[in-house]
Amino acid sequence: MLNTASLSLQQAPPISIPFRFFLTAPLFSILAAVQLLLAGEEILVSRWLPVTLGFTHLLTLGFLAMVMCGALLQMLPVMAGAPVPGVVVVGGAVHLLLSLGTLFLVAWFLGSGPLPPALILLVAGFSIFLIATVVAIWRRGVVARGSPAGGMQLALVSLLVTVLLGVVASLGYDGRLVIRELAVVTDIHLGWGLAGWVGLLLSSVAFQLVPMFNVTPEYPQWMKRHLPWLILLALVGWSLLQFGEGAFWEGGRKFSLVPVVVLYLLFAFITLDLQRRRKRKVPDITLLFWVTGLVSLICCAVLWVCSQLLPWLASWRGMGALWGIGLLLGFSLSIVNGMLYKIVPFLSWFHLQNRQMAQMRMSVAIPHMKAFISDRAARVQFVLHLLATVAMAAAVLYSHNLVRPAAFLFLASNLLLGANLWIAVWRFRKTSLLLAQKS
């Protein structure tokens, strides 16, 4: 179902823009692995420890946000017909500001730098990104219900809320603001970041990419139309219920996440069913990443339900760490890894095909999509990523001594991911030079 005519990249940014984001992301996950290796079991003691906060934000800002911002700059013109104005300047500025801002923020978490420069850089980077993408969508006009652009819009709203709450929480953590419910603000920041920004964008992109790349039936039309809005409204309701006092509000808080959990479970089960019914049954490494991510999401949902029914489980100190591992490493990083293994080869192949047709250089052989990243290298990286995730979960459940073996596996996984992406870009550039040579 790869209809290239409907995916014209004529208005898309130069391929160097998304590549810049994609190649930088593994560098931050490598730093996260090194930090995990140095911190060891200390990282599981509390989510409020500086090393834990630093590790988390290296993954959420340095890896996830980096990939997702680069992907959006590329996908808005392709999937929504909304080219970002001044995309070369915007992309370069956002990439630089987010990269420096993430490093400054982690340095502040670890006590090696002040907070204001980090906030200025990150707020500036996200502001440029949000303004540029909103202008692009506004120029596009009315967005059809059920199109990926609708979910992307709501993901951008969630990003705005996440950034604002992150600024407030960091100022409270630094003592510059007096916030009585700092833990609550932090929880809402985390919820909007994962269930809003990350979840909404991944699900919206999945509506287009899963049928296209996995050759599956289409998602139900009602899901594409209503799921993003229902998730956003559920997040708003959950957020408002966190600040009330009294028995009514306490009962509401206990079950306020139920709609969010149910909606994401629905997305996970329908996606798995579509992939089970795919027309092309050949082995696909990206499918393994998707299955790992969706199964992790289901496990986290089941774990949350059990914690609501069993008070002793809710009070267990390792619950937060287990959720974090499942949602970050198991779900988010798995899905994004799988997307990278499709998006980078596809963009490379498509740009080279367009250039070849424009120059009529038929004597130059264009590598097919699977030639940019070998299946064997991607499979090895998947196994390392899966083992790292399982080892981290086992460290919480059985022995904290497993943290450092998990860190070694996570480091190896991300080193290989970075190498695979660099090799794909090298092959792209090598073919580009051949096309540029005079016949």
pLDDT digits (tens, 9 = 90+) for 16-26: 888 999 999 99
Confirm whether 192 is domain-assigned.
yes
Does 361 map to a domain?
A: no
- Contact between 123 and 162 (Cβ < 8 Å): no
pLDDT exceeds 90 at position 350: no
* Under 8 Å between Cβ of 154 and 72: no
Q: What is the per-residue pLDDT across 56-101, written as a single tens digit (0 to 9) for each?
A: 999 999 999 999 999 999 888 877 677 888 889 999 999 999 999 9
- How confident is the model at residue 101, as a pLDDT? 97
pLDDT reading at 139 higher than 90? no
Measured CA to CA, the distance from residue 270 to residue 384 in angstroms comes to: 27
CB 241 within 8 A of CB 249: yes
Q: Is 173 a member of any domain? A: yes
- Residue 420 included in any domain: no
Average pLDDT taken over every residue of the chain: 89
Q: Containing domain of residue 207, as a range?
A: 151-281
Using the 8-state DSSP alphabet, how is residue 114 labeled?
A: -
- In the numeric block, the tokens 């992150």 are attached to 166
47: pLDDT strictly greater than 50? yes
Decide if 358 is inside a domain. no
Q: What percent of the chain has pLDDT over 70?
A: 93
d(CA 233, CA 26): 33
- Domain annotation covers residue 274: yes
The model carries a pTM of 0.92
Closest CA to 368 of 382, 354, 352, 379: 352
Is 262 domain-assigned?
A: yes
At residue 243, does pLDDT exceed 70?
yes
The token pair at 386 is 């899966």
Kindly state the DSSP code that residue 360 receives in the 8-state scheme. Answer: T
Residues sharing a CB contact under 8 Å with residue 215, sequence separation 6 or more, in sequence order: 1, 278, 279, 280
Enter the DSSP assignment of 373: S
Question: What DSSP string describes 182-244?
Answer: HHHHHHHHHHIIIIIIIHHHHHHHHHHHHHHHH--PPPPHHHHHHHHHHHHHHHHHHHHTTS-
Number of domains in the chain: 1
Chain centre to alpha carbon of residue 149: 17
d(CA 82, CA 71): 13
Would the pLDDT of 7 be above 70? no
153-205 pLDDT tens trace: 899 999 999 999 999 999 998 888 888 888 889 999 999 999 999 999 999 99
In a domain? residue 204: yes
